[in-house]
Amino acid sequence: MNQAPPLERFLAQLYADPAALESYLAAPDAFVAQAGLDAEEATALRDADLVGLVMAARSCARKRGGRHEPR
């Protein structure tokens, strides 16, 4: 079985674990360093849309919880 690339695993962790997301938002460089991402991946995350990231994580949490909010 193929493992997901490190960046995909990292994003999945942020989407699935609210504590990880909060840690990332509080200290992104330290969190990225602990994740073992390469420089290109770290730059991509640094340039990411944080509002969109938070919204996506919240959407995933609602879906996991079975709560689908109307649009």
pLDDT above 90 for 21: yes
Residue 38 lies in a domain: yes
The answer to the question of residue 33 being in a domain is yes
Does residue 28 lie within any of the structural domains? Answer: yes
Q: Tell me the DSSP string of 10-43.
A: HHHHHHH-HHHHHHHHH-HHHHHHHHT--HHHHH
- pLDDT, mean of residues 1-13: 81
- The better pLDDT of the pair 69, 52 is held by 52
Q: What is the pLDDT of residue 25?
A: 92
24 lies in some domain: yes
Counted domains in the chain = 1
Q: Does the residue 12 lie in any domain?
A: yes
User: What pLDDT is attached to residue 2?
Assistant: 55
- 38 φ/ψ angles, rounded to the nearest 5 degrees: -80, 175
Q: What pLDDT, on the 0 to 100 scale, is given for residue 19?
A: 93
Q: Which domain holds residue 43?
A: 6-64
51 found inside a domain: yes
